[in-house]
Structure 1
Amino acid sequence: MNWLKGPSSLLSRQLLFLGLPLVVLWGFSAFSSYISAMNAATQAFDRMLLASTRTVAERLVVRNGRLQADVPWVVLDSFERNMDDRLYYKVVDTEGRVISGYDSLPDIPGGTPRSELYPALAWFWHTRWRGQGMRVACLLQPVNEGGINGMARIYVAETLQSRREMAANLLASSLWTQGGLVILTLILSGWLLRRVLRPLRRLSAHLARRQPGDLSALPALLPWSETRPLMSAFNRYLERLRHLIARQARFSADASHQLKTPLTVLKTQVAVALASQDPQVWRQSLEAMSGTLDGTVQLTERLLQLASLKRREPGSQAFTRIDLVALAQACCFSRLTQARSRHIDLGYEGETSPVWIDGEELLLAEMCANLLDNALKYTPTGGTVTVRVVCQTPQALLEVEDSGPGIDEHQTQQALTPFRRLEQGSMQPGAGLGLALVNDIARWHRTRPELLHGETLGGLLVRVRLVSREKRGP
């Protein structure tokens, strides 16, 4: 089937897939027309043959007790259609003797069916005689006079030249008519395709002239209603791509700005250490550099995670079953040392049996870790941080509440935006990425974080609603 894949242009494919069936149909129609023309010619000339046999039958007479046929040649000549065909006849009396005409003219073959087209007892068949194709008609004529009773047989044979010429003329007329129709159809279809493709060529020229960074919507150069969904979808894609590139550019600019500060601090600390000869200053500088590097590493990791999430569509990977209770408790254990260092009461409340959800475990663990880091950072020394898992089928709630300053309601959107820090936390180190990363991970799981006022501890309550399964083990 490689020949079906050969033509690369639409015009070639159209001519192939449209022209080939039309040509086959043309040939089939021509064959059918030829058969129909031959049948029509046969019927027309058979009527003439039957008329000839009847004319000869009318010339039968009984003389002296014998049947005779008085058939002048002028009678037969009156039935000639042209000079190309010849008529031959034979008359057989009631006793089977040839009384007139050509004795060697073939008799009716056995098994030849009688014609149902005429009321007369007539038979028609094809044969060859004297090296020529013949159409023969046989008519039974009853005789009942002069003591002779029986059936006389009259044979009239005609050559086939006129029939074939008539059929050929009908076939030629059909071929010319249908062939012209096929050619006209192909020409019109090719012209229509070129006309249809003209707007596509204009669109191609428009795209070729565009600047590389031009992501504006495409103009309505395609006038057909069938292409409007395609153009609308492509323009929506360009809009999403434009927003993505703008967001990435803004993210890159903000990230470079955020990384510049710790690198500048690190360079200053190195310069201080190199300018001093005091080992104590060296140690202090190295400790300060270690803290700066730790913060820079944490900032870089969160930047990479945030950039990775922004490149992916929500739910683009298959989720697995996760026990949210075990995940939250493990996250609490991992932050116990950090909480104790500031005398913060870190604890877990809520469900104790497994609560199963669908999600990506690494991302959910990172989300929970960021929520705890944010709560521990802004909770004052001696405060309280509580992690909860509440099952409300078909939802599971992950909550982290602290006794810190909280967030005003009008600042919740700003808190979820990367590199946007609030006044309440301006004295704390950081780049404003913790809640932004939580927001992106939640969106990736087709949900969103809720920043609320904690009724129990009086600080910030962050709640994330996740889809849960039945409350039992797998």
Structure 2
Amino acid sequence: MSQRMLWRNERQSLRRRLLTTLLVPLTLLLMFNSLITYIGALIYANHVHDKDLINDTLTLVQMMAHESPDGRVSSQAQFLLDYEPEGRNYFSVYSSKHGLIAGNRAVRPPSGMPRHGGDPLLYNVQIDTHALRAASMLMSNPLDAGDQLEVTVAETLRDRHQEARQILLLSIPAQTLLIIAAFLLVWLGVRTGLRQLDPLTEQLANREHDLAPIGDANVPVEILPLTRTIDGLFGRLRGMLALQERFIADAAHQLRTPLAGLSVHAERARASTDPQTIADSLNHIQRLIQRANRTSSQLLALTRAQTVEHEAGDTEPLNLATLVPELVGQRVHEGLAAGIDLGYDGPAGPLWIDGDRHRIQEMLDNLIDNGLRYAGSGSLMTVSLARERGGICLAVEDNGPGVPAGWIERLGERFFRVPGVQEEGSGLGLAIVQRIAQWHGGSARYMAGGESGLRVEIMLPAGYAPKKNGDA
């Protein structure tokens, strides 16, 4: 048997599971109903036999009062009481003065007999290993007015249980047929109900590249959680495909110019025999390659940053008061090379957030790169941290030429570059910063610096310090 066939055989059937789930309760219901039927039949049999037992006792009392003036059981009555092929009937007649007159000595009525003229008393008694049901009644002794006779008639419980079993055996086939009919109706209902999934299955099977939501129309209520989950999956797939298409379009847009320049300078170097021209072309090719590398790196960074949703485990507690000075220190030598005084200003205490270290580093690097590229030699650039409105503000400010007020609102747009700026760039740095801030649940704000220049503020939600071992 192939692995595929084995996998098919091991797959669980929803129809089989539903039927099994219903068959077990129906079987238990049959057993419970049979028990209830037997108990009801036994109660009915006890009621009928108790009534017959009372009638037998009253009959015996009347026979003794009218047909046995000597107070003894007539031969006819004794024959009727004793004649039992399986020995299931017992009787006794006790005199308050003379003791047992007739019958079985073991059949004694309990204490507290009813008064003369009352109804027979029903009770249970044990003789040897037999459980009996008995009826007792007091009567006056016809021969002695001062004497009373206790007349008792008893029988075993065998007939009662036998009749209850007969009723049960008669009812079980009908109940079984009823359960089978109910099961068949359930099977038919499950089969018909599952067919309602066929249109949905056909609709999904006919789709090729359509990731539109299924919607709630014509979908059974029980299937709505599944279809809504599928719609959520379709939405995430649409987002991923849109992100992929945007990345391809952005890459084509941004790499077209460097690639065209590479082709031009390569042809120039091939066509010239002048060493100076060839060297100049190679320098241009090297700068264009660096530009293409940076652009592709930023495109990848922007694509990662545009994935706004993140799963558990993507973040960890980060102390920005320790991380940011460390990251700034790694860029100081670049600031010195560019003639820019790069510094840090922040509180001494910890500033915790729940974030991703690599994304925070990428965001800060882009902010510092932006300042190093556009602030100009001789400028000051300060990276600062502060608590603000229940969150943490990470700011990068320089005193360079800044951005005209009319263009500040557009900072953070993809591929936007301030008109008139001569420095090369892709227009992706601040877009990456803004997306990473959003990924962390924060936001980015752009404004003019104190006297001149540009100030970028990143507002991040405050987090909690990690628990130490042993903390509750």
Q: Same fold (TM over 0.5)?
A: yes
1:432 is aligned to 2:427 = yes
What is the Cα deviation at residue 220 of structure 1?
2.9
Letter in 2 for 1:51: N
Return the match for 1:449 from 444, 447, 454: 444
1:461 maps to 2:458: no
The one-letter code matched in structure 2 to 1:433 is L
- The corresponding residue for 1:204 is 201
Structure 1 residue 406, shift from structure 2 partner: 0.8
> How far apart are 1:41 and its partner, in Å?
0.9
Equivalent of 1:22 in 20, 26, 30? 26
Structure 2 equivalent of residue 175 of structure 1: 172
Aligned to 1:360: 356
**Mean Cα displacement is larger for which, 271-280 or 39-48?**
271-280
Once structures 1 and 2 are overlaid, which stretch shifts more, 167-176 or 253-262?
Answer: 167-176
Shift of 1:20: 1.6
> 2:106 touches 2:127 (CA, 8 Å); kept in 1?
no
Q: Aligned to 2:196, what secondary structure does the other structure show? A: helix
Judge which range, 391-400 or 85-94, deviates more.
85-94
Distance 1:422 1:298 in 2: 19
Match of 1:248 in 2: 244
1:446 Cα shift?
1.8
Q: Distance in 1 between matches of 2:232 and 2:464?
A: 39
Task: Quote the residue 1:108 is aligned against.
Answer: 106
Supply the distance in 2 between the matched residues of 1:407 and 1:193 (Cα, whole angstroms).
Answer: 70
Q: Would you say 1:12 and 2:16 are equivalent positions?
A: yes
1:161 is displaced (CA, Å) by: 7.9
Q: Distance in 2 between matches of 1:142 and 1:73?
A: 17
- What TM-score comes out, normalization by structure 1 length? 0.76
- Contact 2:262–2:288 (Cα < 8 Å) also in 1: yes
Contact 1:370 1:438 in 2 (8 A): yes
The structure-2 alpha-carbon separation of the partners of 1:161 and 1:7, relative to structure 1 and needing over 3 Å to count, comes to: farther
Specify the code of the residue in structure 2 equivalent to 1:204: T
2:38 to 31, 34, 40: 34
How many residues are treated as equivalent by the alignment? 445
Tell me if the contact between 2:344 and 2:384 (Cα under 8 Å) persists in the aligned partners: yes
Deviations 1:262-301 (A, max 9, x none): 2332243333333333333333333223222222222232
Instruction: Name the residue aligned to 1:44.
Output: 48
Cα distance 1:412–1:38, how it changes in 2: closer, same or farther (>3 A)? same
Give the corresponding residue for 2:334: 335
1:89/1:154 contact within 8 Å kept: no
Local SS of the residue matching 1:466:
strand
Distance apart, 1:333 and its partner CA: 0.7
Partners of 1:351 and 1:157 lie apart in 2 by 103
Flag the 1:166–1:13 CA change in 2: closer, same or farther, 3 A: same
Alignment correspondent of 2:397:
400
Conserved 8 A contact 1:61-1:68:
no
Q: Distance in 1 between matches of 2:128 and 2:464?
A: 93
How far off is 1:159 after superposition? 8.0
Report what 2:279 is aligned to: 283
Contact 1:355/1:469 (<8 A) preserved: no
The 3 A distance-change label for structure 1 pair 127 and 377 is: same
- Cα displacement (A) at 1:207: 0.6
Aligned to 1:266: 262
Q: Is the 8 A contact 1:218 1:231 kept in 2?
A: yes
Q: How far 1:464 moved relative to its partner?
A: 1.7
Which of these residues, 179, 190, 193, is aligned with residue 190 of structure 2? 193
- Cα shift at 1:236: 4.7
> Which of 197, 204, 212 is residue 216 of structure 1 equivalent to?
212
Gapped regions of structure 1 (runs ≥ 5): 1-5, 100-104
- Fraction of identical pairs, as percent: 25
1:271-420 alignment, distance < 5 Å? 271-311=267-307, 313-314=309-310, 316-323=314-321, 326-327=325-326, 329-330=328-329, 333-340=332-339, 345-348=340-343, 350-351=345-346, 353=348, 356-358=351-353, 359-379=355-375, 382=377, 384-393=379-388, 394=390, 395-404=392-401, 406-409=403-406, 412-413=409-410, 415-420=411-416
Contact 2:108 2:152 in 1 (8 A): no
Asked if structure 2 preserves the Cα contact closer than 8 Å seen for 1:255 and 1:303, the reply is yes
**Following the alignment from structure 1 to structure 2, what is the Cα–Cα distance between the partners of residues 314 and 137?**
81
Q: Is the 8 A contact 1:114 1:121 kept in 2?
A: no
> Does the 8 Å CA contact 1:121/1:140 hold for their aligned counterparts?
yes
The change in CA–CA distance for 1:199 and 1:221 in structure 2 (over 3 A counts) is: farther
CA distance in 2, matches of 1:275, 1:382: 38
Q: Secondary structure at the match of 1:400?
A: strand
CA offset digits 1:33-78 (Å, max 9, x no partner): 313322321231122122123212222269999544446579969x
- The answer (yes or no) to whether the contact 1:346–1:384 under 8 Å persists in 2 is yes
Q: Rate the CA distance shift 1:428–1:36 in 2: closer, same or farther, 3 A.
A: same
Q: Equivalent residue for 1:55?
A: 59
